[in-house]
Amino acid sequence: MGKLLKVMVVFLLLFSIGSLVLGILLFNKRELLKGRTQKLERTIVQLGTTIESAAAEPRAAVYPAKDLSECSAQELDAPERSDFWDKYKSQLEVQDVPRLDLNSRKIQLMQYYQIDPVTIQPLRDPATGLKMTSGPGTMQEVLDDLVNKSASQLARLNETRQQLADIREELVRTITELNERKGTLRSRLKEIVDLKDQIARLETKVSQLESEIEGLKQEKRALEAQVADLEGQRDTLTKEKGELEELVKQLKDEIKKLRTPDRQIGPTPGGGVAETPLRIVRMEPGEKGSIVAVNTQWNFVVVKLTDECLSEVFDEQGTMTPVELYVRRPVRGDEKEKFVTKIRLIQASRTQKIGIADILGDWQQMPAQDGDVLFR
C-alpha cells in the first residue's frame, strides 16, 4: 500500500509539472493573442478616421455654360449653350466630409459574441445552437459598417475619376476650339490695332484742343474767383468798419455820460469815483471777462463780459448793480500768472456784452493791459 501511494505521488508530481508547463505555454499564447487583438482594434479605429461616414449631400451649383454659337458681327440675345454642367456632380468636390468615429464603439469592437441583455450571456443561434458572433452589439456589426462605408467611398472615388475624365475631354475640346479661333482673332486684332492708332492720333489732336479750352476756362474761373474774393473782403471790411464805428460811438457816448457832473457813479477828473452804496450780488467764482481797452488819463477800463457775469450783475428788471472784480495777468511765455489790480464795474451793456469799470488804485500792483482776465 505504501509503494502504491509513492507511485501515485510521483505521477501526481509529474502531472503537476506538465500542467505548469502547459499553463505557461498557454499564458504566452494568451498574451500573443491579446496583443494581436488590441493592435487590430487600434488599427481599425485609426482606419475609421480615413473613411467617410456618409456621402456629401447633392447641392445646386450654377456655372457659366459654354457658348456653342458661331462668332459673327450679329449680336445674339440667346446663343446656344452647352449642357455639360447639367450632368456635373458638384457634391464630389466637397472636402472635410465627416469621418467614422470608432472610438465611441470601442467596447462593441471588443465584443465577439452577441449578448442577451437580460441574462448577460452569449445568445445562441436557434438553428445551429452555436453562439452568435454577428448582429447588433457585436464586433461583426462594426466591421460590416466599416466595409460598407469603405465600399461607398470607393464607389464615390471611381465616380470622381470618371467625372475627371469627362472634364478632361471637355477641356481638350475647348482648348482645340480656342486655338482655332485665336488664329482668326489675331488677324482681326491687327486690323483693330491699326484703326486704334488712327483714332488715337485724332483723339490726341482733340485732347490738345480741349486742354487749351480747359486752360482758358480755368483762367476765367480763377479771375472770377479773385473778383468774388475781393468783393467778399470789401463787404467784410465794410461790415467791420460799421461795427467799429458803432462801438466807438457807443464808447464815446458812455465816456460823455461818465463825464457828466450830475451822475452818481462815474470817473472824476482826479481819478476818483463818486461813491454809491453797492447792492450785494452773489457771484460764482471763476473768470468773468477780459479787458479790451485801458484809459490811464481817466483811470478806467473797457471790459468784455461773459454771459455768466452779465446774468449775475443784472436783476430781473434789467437794472445793473455795480460789482468789484479782480484782474490778473494770464500766463505769457515764461512769465507766471500775476495779480494786477481790482476794478469796480459801474456800467454794462447786455446786448454788446461790454462794460466800463473804474480802476481801484489802492489795489493796483501794476498797470492794467489789454487781455488781462477778470475773475472772482
**For residue 260, pLDDT beyond 60:** no
The residue-averaged pLDDT of 94-106 equals 82
Question: Degrees (nearest 5) of the Cα angle 148, 100, 58?
Answer: 75
Average the pLDDT over each of 165-169, 199-203, 271-275, 332-336 and give the range with the smallest value: 271-275
**Rounded CA gap, 278 and 320, in Å?**
11
Local confidence band at 115 (pLDDT 50, 70, 90 cut-offs) = confident
Lowest mean pLDDT among 60-69, 116-125, 301-310, 360-369: 60-69
Domain segments of the chain as ranges: 27-61+80-215, 287-375
Question: How would residue 1 be classed by pLDDT, with cut points 50, 70 and 90?
Answer: low
Distance of CA 242 to the CA centre of its chain: 54
C-alpha to C-alpha distance for 362 and 229, rounded to whole angstroms? 52
pLDDT at 344 over 90: yes
291 close to 372: Cβ distance less than 8 angstroms: yes
Q: b vs e for 189-203, b when ≥16 Cβ sit within 10 Å of the residue's Cβ?
A: eeeeeeeeeeeeeee
Is the domain spanning 287-375 CATH 2.40.50? The answer is no
| pTM more than 0.85 | no
Kindly state the cell numbers that stand for 276.
454809491
Rounded CA-CA distance 345/360 in Å is: 11
Burial zone of 322 (CB within 10 Å; 0-12 exposed, 13-18 middle, 19+ buried): buried
Please count the CA atoms within 13 angstroms of the CA of 103 that sit on its side-chain side: 4
pLDDT at position 258 is 54
